[in-house]
Structure 1
Amino acid sequence: MAEVFFWCAALALVHTYFLYPLSLFALEGAAQVFQNMRKMRSGEAARTGVKAGPLPSVSLVVAAYNEADCIESKLKNSLALDYPADRFEVVIGSDGSTDGTDGLVQKCTDPRVRLSPAARAGKTTVLNRCIPSAHGDIVLLSDANTMIDADAVRKIVRHFEDPEVGAVCGKLRLYNPTKQDYEESAYWSYESLIKMYEGRRGAVVGANGGLYAIRRSLFTQLPPSTIVDDFVIPLRILESGYKVVYEEGAVAHEETTEDYGKEFGRRARIAAGNFQSLRLVPGLLLPTAGFAAFAFWSHKLLRWCAPALMALALFANLFLLDSLFYRVTLGAQLGFYALAYLGRSGVFKSGAAKKATSIAYYFVTMNAAIAVGFWRFLRNSQRAAWDRTARVPTSTST
C-alpha cells in the first residue's frame, strides 16, 4: 500500500509540473502537422492575413485601494496607450482609498478618465460596480501598479474579431528594481509558457490581474466574498463555452515586492481563493468540458494538491527502505529539502549553487503558502478585501 501511495503522489507531481507541459507541446506540434496536411490536400494557399474590422470600444478598469504613490503614473501610462481616443476610457474604481488616491484621479482633466469611488468593500465589489457601467464593448482589466506597453491594447482586441473568443490574457513581465535574477522570475517564465500553449487550445485557465480583457456582455456578477477575481472571471467565461486565449505580444510590467513576509501572505491569500473558486466553476471539473477540464485538473487542481502529494510521497517512502531504489528516492527528496533550507539561510551568495538553492526554497515556500491558504479556506478566515502589496520606492522605469 505504501508503494501505491508513493507512486500515485509521485506521478501526480510529475504530471502537473512536467508531463502536462510536454503534452501541450505535443498537441501543438500535432495540430500544426494536421493543419499543414489539410492545406496540402486542399491546395489551400497560405493565409496572408485577415482583414481587420473596426476597432471595438474599450474600457480600462482599474480597482485601486490606497495607490497614491503610483496612480498618476498609471493614468499617464493608460492615456498614452495606442488606441483611438474616442473609443477608449479609463475607469478608476476606488475601494474606499484614504491616502489621497481619489483626489489625484480627480485632478486629471482628460475626459477619458472617470472616477468611481465607494466605501471599502473589496475588489470584487469594485468590479461588480465598474464593469457593468463601463461604456466599452471590451473591458480591459489591470492593476494600479502595472504599466502596459503602448501597443498592447490593439494586440489584445484583434482576437475578439473571432466571436468564439470571450477573454484574452496578456503577458505580465515581473521585474525587481534591486535584483536582476530572482526566484520568481524563473517560475513566472515557466507559467507564461504554459499559458501561451494553453491559449493556442483556447483554454487558458486563469488570467493574471495585471493585464487581461473580456467581452463586457459575458461578465456575470461575482459573489462579494470572491478572493481571486482574475482567476474566476475568465474561468467562468471558459466554462460557458467561449475561448480564453493568450497574446504574448501584449506586454505589461509589474514590480515585485522585497517584503517576503507579505509575499508569502499574498500567495496564501491566492491559494485560499483558488480553493474557493471550485464552487464557482463546477462545470470545469467535469469531463464534458473537454480539453478545458483536462487543463484545469492538470494545471491547477493537481498544483493545489502538491503540498499533500509531497508529504505523502515522503511519508510513504519511509516504509519502503528495504529497496535500494527507494532509499535513493528518499535521499533525493531529503536532498531537495536540504537545498531549500540552504536557500533560506542564504549560504551561497552567487553562482549556480545560489540559483539552485533559491529555486528550491521558492518552490517549498510556494507550496507551504498553498497549505496555509487551504487551512484558511477550511476555516473561512480569508477576507475578500485586499491590501496593496508593498513595493520598493524607486525611480526605475520599465
Structure 2
Amino acid sequence: MAELIFWCAAVLLVHTYFLYPLALFAMDGVAQVLHNVRYMRSGASQRREAPAEDALPRVSLVVAAYNEASCIEQKLRNSLALDYPAGRFEVLVGSDGSTDGTDERVLACPDERVRLSAASRGGKTSVLNRCIPLAQGDIVLLSDANTMIEPEAVRRLVRHFEDPEVGAVCGQLRLYNPTKAEYEESTYWTYESLIKFYEGKRGAVMGANGGLYAIRRSLFEALPASTIVDDFVIPMRILEQGYKVLYEPLAVAHEETTEDYDKEFGRRARIAAGNFQSLRMVPGLLSPTAGFPAFAFWSHKLLRWCAPALMALSFLANLCLMDSIFYRFTLGAQVLFYALAYLGKKEALRGSARRVASVAYYFVTMNLAIAVGFWRFLRNSQRAAWDRTARASS
C-alpha cells in the first residue's frame, strides 16, 4: 500500500509539473504539421489584414481601485496613451470605498473618456459586477491600478475578437522587481506563461491575470459576492460556455512585485482559497465530456492545488519503504530538496546554487500557501475584499 501511494503521488506530481507541459508541446507539434499540410494543399494565404479604424470595436478599460492614490494618476496617463482610437475607448475606474484621495484624483482628470464609479467598500467582485454592465464598449479590458500597459497591447488583444468563437483573450504580465535583477518568482512566472501560451493555441487558457485581459461584455455573468479569484472565474465561465480563451504574448503589461514576503504569502494563500472556492462555480470543466478544457483544468489546476497533499503523501509513504536502496535514494532526494529550500530561505548560498535554492524555496512556500488557503476554504474564513499590495518602491 505504501508503494502504491508513493507512486500515485509521484506520478501525479510529475504529470502536473512536467508531463502536462510536454503533452502541450507534442499536441502543438502535431497541430502545426496538420496546419502545414492543409496550407500546402489549399495554397490559400493565411495573412490577415488589419481592420479599418472605423471597424474596430468599442473598448472599455475597467480598473478596480482601492486606495490607489499613489499610482492612479500614472495609471490614467498610461491608459489614455494607449494606441487605440480615442472615440472608441473609455476608462472606467471603479473605486471600492477608497479613502485616500483616489476618487478625487480620478475626478480631476480632464479627459472626458475617464469615468468614475464609486461605492462603499464591498470587494473587487462588487466593483466588477457594478462596472462591467456600465461599460459602453463591446470589449471590456480588465486591469489593475498598479499595472502599466504597453501602447499597442489593446489592438493586439482586440484583433482576436474578429473570431466570433473567441470569448476572452489574456495578455502577458511581466513582473519586475526594482531592487533585484533575479528573484524567485520570475523563473516560475516564465514557466507558467509558457504553459498559457500553449494552452492558448488550443483555445483553453486556464485563467487570466487581473493585470491584463479582455472579454466580450455580453458574456459576462454577475459573480457571487463571495468570489475571491475573479480573474480565474470570469474566463473559466466563458470557457465553460463553449467560447475560446486565448493568450496573446505580444499584449504586454508590467507590474511591480512586493518586498513584503509575509503579505506575498498571504496573497498566495488568498488565491489558493479562491481556487478551491471556484470549483463549485465552474462544474462543467470537471467533466471529461468538456474535452481538452477538462484535461487542462485537471492537469494544470486541480492537481496543482493538490500538490501539497501529494508531496506529503510521497514523503510519508517513502518513510515506510526504507528496506529498498531505490527508496532510500528517493527519500534522500526529497530531504535534499527541502534542505535546499531552507538554504534558499536563509540565502546561504551564492551564484548558480543560490538561484536554484531560491527557486526551491519559492516552490515550497507556494505549496505551503496552497495548504493554508485550503484550510481557510474549509473554515470559510477568507474574505473576498482585497487589500492593496505594498510595492518595493513604496
Is the pair's TM-score, using the shorter chain for normalization, greater than 0.5?
yes
The residue number in structure 2 matching 1:101 is 102
What amino acid does structure 2 have at the position aligned with 1:341? Y
The residue number in structure 2 matching 1:235 is 236
What amino acid does structure 1 have at the position aligned with 2:103? D
The residue number in structure 2 matching 1:346 is 347
Q: 1:73 to 1:51 in 2, by over 3 A?
A: closer
Alpha-carbon distance in 2 for matches of 1:23, 1:9 = 19
Q: 1:51 to 1:64 in 2, by over 3 A?
A: closer
The percent identity for this pair of structures is 76
The residue number in structure 1 matching 2:176 is 175
Q: Within 5 Å, which residues of 2 pair with 1:55-74?
A: 55-74=56-75
The residue number in structure 2 matching 1:249 is 250
TM-score (norm 2): 0.98
State the shift of 1:35 in Å. Answer: 1.3
What amino acid does structure 2 have at the position aligned with 1:48? R
The residue number in structure 2 matching 1:265 is 266
State the shift of 1:45 in Å. Answer: 3.0
State the shift of 1:51 in Å. Answer: 5.4
Tell me if the contact between 2:178 and 2:393 (Cα under 8 Å) persists in the aligned partners.
no
What amino acid does structure 1 have at the position aligned with 2:226? S
State the shift of 1:47 in Å. Answer: 1.8
List per-residue Cα deviations over 1:225-245 (Å, max 9, x = no partner).
000000000000000000000
Tell me if the contact between 2:206 and 2:297 (Cα under 8 Å) persists in the aligned partners.
yes
What amino acid does structure 2 have at the position aligned with 1:202? G
The residue number in structure 2 matching 1:393 is 393
Tell me if the contact between 2:196 and 2:205 (Cα under 8 Å) persists in the aligned partners.
yes
What amino acid does structure 1 have at the position aligned with 2:8? C
State the shift of 1:288 in Å. Answer: 1.0
The residue number in structure 2 matching 1:48 is 47
The residue number in structure 2 matching 1:219 is 220
The residue number in structure 1 matching 2:78 is 77
Alpha-carbon distance in 2 for matches of 1:150, 1:258 = 28
How many pairs were matched up?
392
State the shift of 1:321 in Å. Answer: 0.9
List per-residue Cα deviations over 1:160-195 (Å, max 9, x = no partner).
000000000000000000000000000000000000
Q: 1:262 to 1:51 in 2, by over 3 A?
A: closer
Unaligned segments of structure 1, at least 5 residues: none
Q: Does 1:371 align with 2:394?
A: no
Alpha-carbon distance in 1 for matches of 2:45, 2:299 = 34
1:74 aligns to what SS in structure 2?
Answer: helix
Tell me if the contact between 2:168 and 2:244 (Cα under 8 Å) persists in the aligned partners.
yes
What amino acid does structure 1 have at the position aligned with 2:389? T
Give RMSD over aligned pairs: 0.9
List per-residue Cα deviations over 1:273-325 (Å, max 9, x = no partner).
00000000000000111000000000000000000000000000011111111
List per-residue Cα deviations over 1:68-90 (Å, max 9, x = no partner).
00000000000000000000000
State the shift of 1:48 in Å. Answer: 2.7
The residue number in structure 2 matching 1:32 is 32
Alpha-carbon distance in 2 for matches of 1:207, 1:274 = 13
2:265 aligns to what SS in structure 1?
Answer: helix
Alpha-carbon distance in 1 for matches of 2:61, 2:16 = 34
The residue number in structure 2 matching 1:384 is 384
Alpha-carbon distance in 1 for matches of 2:337, 2:44 = 52
State the shift of 1:374 in Å. Answer: 0.1
The residue number in structure 2 matching 1:126 is 127
The residue number in structure 1 matching 2:160 is 159
Q: Within 5 Å, which residues of 2 pair with 1:296-375?
A: 296-348=297-349, 350-375=350-375
List per-residue Cα deviations over 1:337-371 (Å, max 9, x = no partner).
000011111112x3111101101100000000000
List per-residue Cα deviations over 1:56-108 (Å, max 9, x = no partner).
00000000000000000000000000000000000000000000000000110
